[in-house]
Structure 1
Amino acid sequence: MKIPFNRRMAVLAVLLASSSMAQAGVVVVMSSKSDVDSLSRAQVSQIFLAKTDALPNGRVAKPVDQAEGSAVRNEFYDKVADKNAAQMKAYWSQLTFTGKAQPPRKVSGDAAVKAAVAENPAAVGYISDGAVDGSVKVVFRP
């Protein structure tokens, strides 16, 4: 059976679009009003693992996490902290149980992260690359 040219092109377009969406990725963002322009992988990891609360400008970092089970959260921790979802759950269980630290504030989805980050220049969050708008600026790309 021969597939018409237009149909083959449509199938190719869908495959290319889904491929680029799968590689869209995650970015670390701060308020567009923040005076921090970039963070290193190590800085981001230390902030989100409660190993430091300091930003380069001296302010106390306020990490904003996404809900457990979200694809963007899993990608973020995999790329930034080299930990999967189960490892992160165990990590926070141990720190919380021993009283050493509390996990970052959790919100649900990219829009909620952008809202939380946009209102606080010390807040640091992560969102899907395609969700970036003028309210936030990218400070790290894993």
Structure 2
Amino acid sequence: MMNKRNLNAMLAVALMMLSSVSQAQLAVIVNPKSSLSTLTPEQAAGLFLGKSSTVPGGGPASLADLPDSSAVREQFYSKAAGKTPAQVKAAWSRLTFSGKATPPKELATAADVKKYVAANVEAIGYIEKSAVDATVKVVLVVE
């Protein structure tokens, strides 16, 4: 039988695990062959909110996004752009309806984002920093 002390200890461990997930560092990534070497949070927000369709230096950007339901997506837009999921969706709805921009390509998982970026020199995406490997290059860390 579980006593109150054991239950409290298990709850404390579970809360620590949840807080570490919610505080994960995110990395904005590009193809290793990309000429882009760094992005500011403002530049990343501009790209992922449709305010800009080119990277600094003028090249085209092919954006990769995670699904609406992704906690990493929510964290990215919150930290990089100061926007809630509803605000992001509303901004893209306006831009799409007016024909001013096309939303980022939505991929199912972070592994899919990394694979897409690794295969496309114009691609920019974001994943948890812990998932970065030699197939992509980090241009911004969002904390």
TM-score (norm 2): 0.82
Distance apart, 1:46 and its partner CA: 1.1
Q: Is the 8 A contact 2:30 2:117 kept in 1?
A: yes
Q: Is the 8 A contact 2:54 2:60 kept in 1?
A: yes
Gaps of 5+ in 2: none
Distance apart, 1:62 and its partner CA: 1.1
Whole-angstrom distance in 2 between the partners of 1:99 and 1:18? 40
Whole-angstrom distance in 1 between the partners of 2:35 and 2:97? 35
Whole-angstrom distance in 1 between the partners of 2:98 and 2:14? 49
Gaps of 5+ in 1: none
Whole-angstrom distance in 2 between the partners of 1:98 and 1:14? 45
1:12–1:101 CA distance, 2 compared to 1 (3 A): closer
Q: How does 1:1-142 map to 2 (within 5 A)?
A: 19-142=19-142
Tell me how large the CA RMSD over aligned residues is.
Answer: 2.3
Aligned residues with identical type, % of pairs: 42
Distance apart, 1:58 and its partner CA: 2.8
Distance apart, 1:91 and its partner CA: 1.2
Deviations 1:90-112 (A, max 9, x none): 11112222222221111111100
Distance apart, 1:113 and its partner CA: 0.4
Distance apart, 1:120 and its partner CA: 1.3
What amino acid is the match of 2:28? V
**4+ aligned runs moved over 4 Å, structure 1:** 10-19
TM-score (norm 1): 0.83
Distance apart, 1:13 and its partner CA: 7.3
My pick for the range that moved more, 74-83 or 94-103, is 94-103
